[in-house]
C-alpha cells in the first residue's frame, strides 16, 4: 500500500492541474471556493442529522435564491453559499467516524481538489466529486481503497415534482413534498446528480460517490471500464434520467421499449395513474379531532411557517422524532 | 422489440471448459457451421418469470448471449415517490416474491434510521426469524428445483413440500404466505401466535431432514455432479466487480456476508453462525453453498427461538409517519444477495427518491460474460444455479 501511494498521488495532482487549466468552468468552483469546499468537511466534519442538512441546504438555497432553472448561476453562486455553511458547521454536524475519515483522507490524497464536499449519512460516507473526475473516482476507489464491489450506479433529480390537481396540499398527485429545491448529503450544484455505492468485500468498508450532472448537457463518464457491472446500471440511468454515459459501449434501452420517449424518473415526467386518480393516501392526512388541521386545509401552506406555530405543541407532545421542527418551519409542509 | 444485435464479446479467455471442448470447436470450424440465433423465453421454466435470452449459437455452443429484461418492469422507483412510507412496504414485497419479508426489512430499517427510531428487541428477533425463514423457504425451493433444471424431476417435489412447511409458518405468523407486509416502522404488526415457537422447532427438524435428502439425492448424485461441476465458473474478483452478491459470490470463494460483515442490523451480531464459502465458483459450488446456508439458517432460527426476549413489539411512533430530511443507505443480506435501499427524504410523509438495489439485477448482468462458450444445456444449468427472481431484476 504505502508503495503505490506516491506515484498515483503525483499523477492525480498532475491530472487535476491539467484538467483545471483546461476548463475551470464545469464544476463551477473557482479556486477560492474549491479550497473552502475541500477543506471544510475535513476539519469540521459534516452533519449527521437530517434536520441539520435540511437547515443548511435551506440556507444555501436562500443565499443563492435560485429557482432551479439557471444552473450556471447556481454554479457560480455555490462557493459563496459555502461560506456561511462553514460558519454553521461547528454546532450541528456529527464528525466522521475514524473509519470514514480514513477513507476520505485516502480518497483526497488521490483525488486532490476533485473532492468537492463530503458528509456522513448514518454511518455511510458520502463524497461529492467533480464531474470531470467521476471515472477517476471509480478507479481510485477500486485501486487505492480496495472497493472491489459495485452496489449500484443511479441518478437523482433534485427538482421538486410539480403538483397535479391544484396547489392544495394533500389533494396533489403525491404525498406533499416541499417545493423548494433542497439537496441531500454532500450537497449539489444543480438539478441532476449521479451517485453510486462501492464497497470492499475484504475490508468491509464502503462509500457513496456523487457527482453533479449538467442539466443542459447531461454527460457523465462511464464506469464500465472500471466496474463491468456498471453496464446495466448505466443503461437504466440513461433511460430513466437521460444521462449520457461517455464511454459506455452499448447505451440502449434496458427496461423500456426501444421507441420510448422521455425519462420517467425525472420529476417533471408525469405519472399517468396519478393524473386520472388522486393519491389514495389522502385519507391518511386527515386530521384527528384533537389535532390541528393539516396544512392542506389552509391552502398550499408554502408561505413560510404559517402553520408551524399551531402545530408545534401537538407535535412536540406525541411525536418526539418530529421534534426538530425548525427545518419543517422552513419547508412549510408540517402536516399535523 | 429490441434489435437483435448481440453484445460484443469482451476479451477472449481460456478456461478448463474451453480446453475440454477444443476438439468440438475444431470440428465446427472445419464444417463451417453458420451461426444461429435462438430465443430462450420470455417464457421458460428456468427463468422464474419472463426473462428473454437471445443466444447466438455455433452448433451447440453459445457464442454470445444477451439477456433482454424489462418484461416485468413495474417502475417501483417512480411509484415510491407518490406513496407514503407505510404504503411502500406493500410494493417492495413484490420485488423478490420468494422472500418478501426480507425485502421489507432494509427499507423499514432505512426509514427507522432517518426517524431515529429503533424497534424493540423482541420485534428485532421476530424480524430476524422471519427473514431467516424466508431464506430457508427460498433456498429449499432452489435445492429442489436445481435438480429439475438438469433433468431430475423428483427433488423438485421435495423442494416444494419443504417450502410448504416454512410458508405455513410464515402464514400463521403474518397472515400472508407470500406477501406478509408485516413490518411497521418501529416494529411489527403483531406478536407471534400461541404455539408458534414449538411448531417452528419441529418444522426446523423437518427442514434439516430435507437438507439431508437433498445432500444425498442431488448433491451426492453422480449425474448431477457431472452436469454442474465446472459449469459456469465465476471468478471471485470478476463477480464482485459485476456486483454479483450473496451465495453466488460466496460460492466463488469470496468470504463476504453482510449479516456478519456489514453494518450491524437486526440481531445477527448476537448470533453464532458460520459463513460458508466454496472455492470453485461453478454451478455445483453454488448449489453446495446454498445447501449449507439452509442448514445454517435453521441453526440460527433455533438459536433465536431459544434467546428471544419477551417485551413489546412496537416502539412509540407518531400516528402520522413523517420522516425527517436526510438520506440513508441500508443494505442487507437477502436470500438472493445484497439488497439495498438508498432513501432520500425531504421531511414529507413519502420519500423523495428511493433507489432500490436488488440482488438479481446485478447477478444476472454477468450472464453475457458467463454464457459465452458454454453448451446449450449448460445455459439452463447456469440460469438455474444463479437463482434469480424476475421481480428482483425488473423491479
For A179, which residue in chain B has the nearest alpha carbon? B346
Q: Is the pLDDT of residue A111 over 70?
A: yes
Using a CB–CB cutoff of 8 Å, tell me whether A121 touches chain B.
yes
Q: What is the CATH number of the domain that holds A232?
A: 3.30.460.80
Report yes or no on A162 lying in a domain. yes
Question: Could A201 and B249 be called an inter-chain contact, meaning their C-beta atoms sit closer than 8 Å?
Answer: yes
Residue B50 counted as domain residue: no
Same domain, A57 and A113: no
A180 in the same domain as A113: yes
Q: What is the CATH number of the domain that holds B188?
A: 1.10.645.10
Using the Cβ of A163 and the Cβ atoms of chain B, whether some distance falls under 8 Å is answered with: no
Subunit contact B349:A252, Cβ cutoff 8 A: no
Select the residue of B244, B261, B352 nearest A177 (Cβ to Cβ). Answer: B352
Nearest CA in chain A to B115: A321
pTM over 0.80: no
Q: Where are the beta strands (DSSP E) in A214-289?
A: 219-221, 244-246
Between chain A and chain B, how many beta carbons pairs sit less than 8 Å apart? 204
| Residue A183 domain-assigned (yes or no) | yes
Higher pLDDT among residues A150 and A188, named by residue: A150
Whether B244 and B387 have beta carbons less than 8 Å apart is answered as no
Q: Which residues pair with B61 in a beta bridge?
A: B58, B375
Poorest-pLDDT segment among A10-19, A145-154, A165-174, B131-140? A10-19
Chosen from A152, A182, A295 to mutate, greatest number of chain B CBs within 10 A: A152
- The answer to whether A86 faces chain B, any CB pair under 8 Å, is no
pLDDT of residue A10: 40
Residue A276 maps to a domain: no
In angstroms, the separation between the Cα of residue A190 and the nearest Cα of chain B is 16
Residue range A217-236: average pLDDT?
A: 90
pLDDT, tens digit, 9 for 90 and up, residues A135-165: 888 888 888 888 889 999 999 988 887 665 4
- Which of A42, A77, A112 finishes a domain? A77
Q: Chain B within 8 Å of A258 (Cβ-Cβ)?
A: yes
Together in a domain, A72 and A184: no
Look at residue B30 and tell me if it is in a domain: no
pLDDT tops 90 at residue A33: no
Complex prediction ipTM: 0.83
As a whole number of angstroms, the distance between CA A275 and CA A172 comes to 9
Q: Are residues A136 and A240 in the same domain?
A: yes
A148/B241 CB distance under 8 A? yes
Domain annotation covers residue A88: no
Q: CA-CA distance, A159 to B139, in Å (whole number)?
A: 42
User: Residue B241 and residue A149: Cβ atoms within 8 Å?
Assistant: yes
Substitution target in A94, A124, A149 with the highest count of B β-carbons within 10 Å is A149
**Of B317, B362, B330, the residue nearest B92 (C-alpha):** B330
Q: What is the pLDDT of residues B7-29, one digit of tens each?
A: 454 444 555 555 555 555 555 55
Same domain, A68 and A106: no
Residue from A99, A119, A321 whose CB has the most chain B CBs within 10 Å, to mutate:
A321
Q: Do A110 and A238 reside in the same domain of the chain?
A: yes
Chain A residues 169-208 within an 8 A CB cutoff of chain B: 173-178, 182, 184-185, 195, 197, 201-202, 204, 208
Q: Is residue A16 part of a domain?
A: yes
With 0-12 / 13-18 / 19 or more C-beta atoms within 10 angstroms meaning exposed / middle / buried, residue B44 is middle
**Res A183: pLDDT:** 79
Is the residue at A332 inside a domain? no
Asked if residue B241 belongs to a domain, the reply is yes
Partner-chain residue, chosen from B69, B83, B84, that has the shortest CB–CB distance to A255: B69
According to the model, what pLDDT value does residue B356 have?
Answer: 92
Quick one: DSSP state of residue B50? B
Look at B320 and A336 and tell me if their CB atoms are within 8 Å.
yes
Distance CA A106, CA A5 (A): 9
**Sign of the C-alpha dihedral, residues B81, B83, B89, B95?**
negative
Mean pLDDT of chain B: 85
- With respect to residue B26, please indicate whether it lies within any of the assigned structural domains: no
DSSP state of B49: S
Q: Do A50 and B329 touch (CB under 8 A)?
A: no
**For B379-387, what is the mean pLDDT?**
88
H or E, element range at B347: none
Closest-CA distance of chain A to residue B268, Å? 16
Is A124 among the domain residues? yes
Q: What residue of A is the nearest CA neighbor of B243?
A: A150
Summarize the confidence of residues A256-285 as an average pLDDT.
Answer: 72
Q: Are residues A57 and A118 in the same domain?
A: no
Say whether both A67 and A128 belong to one domain.
no
- Nearest-neighbour CA in chain B from A161: distance (Å): 9
Q: Would you call the peptide bond into B186 cis, given omega within 30 degrees of 0 as the criterion? A: no
Å between B308 CA and nearest CA of chain A: 27
Residues A141 and A218 in one domain: yes
Q: Read off φ and ψ for residue A84, nearest 5 degrees.
A: -65, -30
Domain total of chain A: 3
User: Which residues of chain A lie closer than 8 angstroms to B84, CB-CB?
Assistant: 175, 281, 284
Give the pLDDT of residue A21.
Answer: 39
One domain, residues A54 and A119: no
Could you say which of B329, B331, B346 has the minimum Cβ distance to residue A177? B346
Across the interface, do B357 and A320 touch by the CB < 8 Å criterion? no
Range of the domain at B207: 87-322
Do A239 and A124 belong to one domain?
yes
**Is B263's CB within 8 Å of A178's CB?**
no
How many folded domains does chain B comprise?
Answer: 1
Residues A306 and A179 in one domain: no
Give the pLDDT mean for A297-314.
Answer: 37
Q: How far is A126 from chain B (nearest CA, A)?
A: 10
Concatenated DSSP letters of B208-259:
HHHHHHHIIIIIT-HHHHHHHTTSS---HHHHHHHT--THHHHTTT----HH
**From CA B328, how far away is CA A101, in angstroms rounded?**
18
- Rounded Cα gap, residues A146 and A143, in angstroms: 5
d(CA B332, CA B266): 10
% of chain B exceeding 70 in pLDDT: 90
Q: How many other CB atoms are there within 10 angstroms of residue B235's CB atom?
A: 14
Q: Which residue has the higher pLDDT, A273 or A308?
A: A273
**Which residue of A lies nearest to B71 if distances are taken between CA atoms?**
A255
Q: Which domain holds residue A289?
A: 282-315
A89 is a domain residue = no
Highest mean pLDDT among A73-82, A105-114, A128-137, A307-316: A128-137
Q: Report the residue from B113, B256, B318 with minimal CB separation from A122.
A: B113
Does A254 reach chain B within 8 Å, measured CB to CB? Answer: yes
CB contact under 8 A, B245 and A284: no
Query: With bands split at pLDDT 50, 70 and 90, how would you rate the model's confidence at B137?
Result: very high
Amino acid at each position: 500500500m504505502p508503495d503505490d501511494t506516491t506515484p498515483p498521488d503525483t499523477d492525480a495532482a498532475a491530472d487535476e492541474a491539467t484538467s483545471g487549466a483546461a476548463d475551470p468552468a464545469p464544476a463551477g468552483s473557482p479556486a477560492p471556493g474549491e479550497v473552502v469546499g475541500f477543506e471544510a468537511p475535513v476539519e469540521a466534519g459534516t452533519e449527521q442529522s437530517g434536520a441539520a442538512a435540511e437547515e443548511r441546504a435551506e440556507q444555501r438555497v436562500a443565499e443563492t435564491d435560485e429557482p432551479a432553472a439557471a444552473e450556471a448561476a447556481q454554479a457560480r453562486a455555490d462557493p459563496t453559499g459555502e461560506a456561511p455553511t462553514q460558519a454553521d458547521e461547528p454546532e450541528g454536524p456529527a464528525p466522521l467516524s475514524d473509519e470514514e475519515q480514513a477513507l476520505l483522507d485516502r480518497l483526497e490524497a488521490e483525488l486532490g481538489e476533485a473532492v468537492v464536499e463530503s458528509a456522513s449519512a448514518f454511518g455511510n460516507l458520502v463524497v461529492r466529486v467533480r464531474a470531470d473526475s467521476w471515472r477517476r473516482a471509480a478507479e481510485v476507489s477500486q485501486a487505492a481503497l480496495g472497493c472491489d464491489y459495485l452496489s449500484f450506479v443511479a441518478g437523482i433529480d433534485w427538482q421538486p415534482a410539480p403538483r397535479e390537481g391544484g396547489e392544495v396540499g394533500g389533494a396533489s398527485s403525491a404525498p406533499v413534498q416541499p417545493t423548494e429545491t433542497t439537496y441531500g448529503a454532500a450537497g449539489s450544484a444543480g438539478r441532476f446528480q449521479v451517485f453510486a455505492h462501492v464497497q470492499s468485500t475484504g475490508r468491509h468498508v464502503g462509500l457513496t460517490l456523487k457527482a453533479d450532472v449538467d442539466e443542459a448537457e447531461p454527460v457523465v463518464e462511464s464506469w464500465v471500464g472500471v466496474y463491468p457491472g456498471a453496464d446495466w446500471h448505466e443503461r437504466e440511468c440513461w433511460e430513466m434520467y437521460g444521462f449520457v454515459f461517455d464511454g459506455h459501449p452499448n447505451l440502449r434501452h434496458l427496461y423500456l421499449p426501444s421507441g420510448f420517449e422521455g425519462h420517467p424518473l425525472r420529476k417533471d415526467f408525469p405519472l399517468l395513474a396519478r393524473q386520472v386518480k388522486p393519491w389514495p393516501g389522502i385519507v391518511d392526512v386527515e386530521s384527528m379531532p384533537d389535532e390541528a388541521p393539516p396544512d392542506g386545509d389552509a391552502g398550499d401552506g408554502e408561505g413560510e411557517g404559517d402553520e408551524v406555530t399551531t402545530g408545534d405543541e401537538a407535535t412536540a407532545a406525541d411525536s418526539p422524532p418530529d421534534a426538530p421542527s425548525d427545518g419543517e418551519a422552513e419547508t412549510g409542509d408540517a402536516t399535523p | 422489440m429490441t434489435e437483435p444485435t448481440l453484445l460484443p464479446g469482451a476479451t477472449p479467455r481460456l478456461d478448463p471448459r474451453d480446453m475440454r471442448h477444443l476438439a468440438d470447436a475444431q470440428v465446427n470450424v472445419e464444417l463451417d457451421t453458420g451461426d444461429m440465433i435462438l430465443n430462450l423465453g420470455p417464457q421458460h421454466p428456468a427463468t422464474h418469470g419472463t426473462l428473454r435470452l437471445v443466444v447466438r449459437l455455433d452448433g451447440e455452443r453459445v457464442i454470445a448471449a444477451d439477456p433482454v429484461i424489462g418484461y416485468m418492469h413495474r417502475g417501483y422507483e417512480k411509484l415510491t415517490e407518490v406513496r407514503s412510507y407505510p404504503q411502500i412496504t406493500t410494493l417492495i414485497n413484490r420485488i423478490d416474491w420468494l422472500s418478501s419479508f426480507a425485502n421489507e426489512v432494509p427499507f423499514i430499517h432505512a426509514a427507522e434510521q432517518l426517524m431515529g427510531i429503533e424497534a424493540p428487541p423482541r420485534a428485532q428477533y421476530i424480524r430476524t426469524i422471519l427473514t431467516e425463514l424466508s431464506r430457508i423457504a427460498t433456498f429449499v425451493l432452489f435445492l429442489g428445483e436445481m435438480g429439475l433444471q438438469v433433468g431430475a424431476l423428483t427433488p423438485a417435489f421435495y423442494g416444494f413440500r419443504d417450502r410448504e412447511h416454512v410458508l405455513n409458518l410464515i402464514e400463521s405468523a403474518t397472515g400472508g404466505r407470500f406477501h406478509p407486509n408485516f413490518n411497521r416502522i418501529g416494529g411489527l404488526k403483531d406478536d407471534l401466535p400461541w404455539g408458534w415457537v414449538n411448531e417452528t422447532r419441529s418444522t426446523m427438524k423437518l427442514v434439516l431432514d430435507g437438507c439431508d435428502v437433498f445432500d444425498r439425492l442431488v448433491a451426492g448424485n453422480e449425474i448431477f455432479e457431472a452436469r454442474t461441476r465446472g459449469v459456469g465458473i465465476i471468478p471471485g474478483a470478476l463477480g464482485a466487480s459485476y456486483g454479483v452478491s450473496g451465495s453466488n459470490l460466496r460460492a466463488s470463494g469470496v468470504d463476504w456476508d453482510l449479516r456478519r460483515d456489514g453494518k450491524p442490523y437486526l440481531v445477527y451480531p448476537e448470533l453464532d453462525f458460520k459463513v460458508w464459502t466454496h472455492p470453485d465458483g461453478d454451478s455445483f459450488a453454488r448449489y453446495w453453498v446454498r445447501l449449507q446456508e439452509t442448514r445454517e439458517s435453521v441453526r440460527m432460527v433455533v438459536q433465536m427461538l431459544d434467546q428471544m426476549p419477551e417485551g413489546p413489539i412496537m416502539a412509540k411512533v407518531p400516528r402520522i409517519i413523517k420522516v425527517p430530511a436526510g438520506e440513508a443507505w441500508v443494505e442487507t443480506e437477502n436470500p438472493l444477495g445484497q439488497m439495498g435501499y438508498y432513501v432520500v427524504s425531504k421531511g414529507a410523509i413519502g420519500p423523495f427518491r428511493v433507489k432500490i438495489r436488488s440482488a438479481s439485477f446485478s447477478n444476472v448482468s454477468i450472464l453475457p460474460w458467463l454464457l459465452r462458450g458454454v453448451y446449450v444445456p449448460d445455459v439452463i444449468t447456469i440460469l438455474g444455479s444463479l437463482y434469480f427472481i424476475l421481480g428482483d431484476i425488473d423491479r
